Amino acid sequence: MKGTEMQIAKKLDRGIQEVPEEDRARIEMAVASIAAIFDFLRDFGYSLEKVEMSNNLLKYQTSVVWRNPRIEREVSVSYLPYDYEGQESNTLNVSIVKLSSTRKGNDVFDASEQFMNLRMYLESKCPDFDTSVLSSLNYEGGLEERVKKVLRAYAYYMQDVAENILRGEDWETGHFHSWH
């Protein structure tokens, strides 16, 4: 087991014991795939920060988070297992977070200034972008194969279209899901 894999396994062990076995296997597979496919972030100065699991509203959502403290950015890749019409599926999401706050004094900052949903960013930068490449339901094969295809698509487009964001050279607002 490589160093990154051991780090992830150790961080994941903290929250996964309460998860039913079938979901646990899916989460472990996704986290290992995320770690391997997004290891390129090290080339941009990011290091593995944490693996966290939410057991609240989005049951078993698991996020693998890398941080670059020099440019105050985080990249979070989240996995949420679920079943869709009897087929094992998932939601995969990639966000980039600008850690430095833009607020002054007691002013409340707008979350859309700090969080960037990669899918929304790609849609705005590439009008002909086919978002279906970011859904595992659009691929053939087993769950692991489909998850890896989506992760590879995210990784490819992140490096190709959002490289300046990853390097801390640029930032754009408005690529954020608003729930109200």
pTM: 0.82
DSSP state of 109: P
Residue 61's pLDDT is 84
What average pLDDT does this structure show over 170-179? 64
DSSP state of 43: G
Share of the chain above pLDDT 90, in %: 32
Q: What is the pLDDT of residues 7-47, one digit of tens each?
A: 565 556 556 777 778 788 888 999 999 999 999 999 999 99
Q: Which amino acid is at 144?
A: E
What average pLDDT does this structure show over 153-160? 93
Q: What is the pLDDT of residues 101-128, one digit of tens each?
A: 555 555 555 566 788 888 888 888 888 8
* Banded model confidence at residue 179, pLDDT cuts 50, 70, 90: very low
Given phi > 0 = left and psi -120 to 50 = alpha, else beta, which region is 110? beta
Q: Is pLDDT larger for residue 10 or for residue 76?
A: 76
Q: Quote the CA–CA distance of 103 and 94 in Å, as a whole number.
A: 24
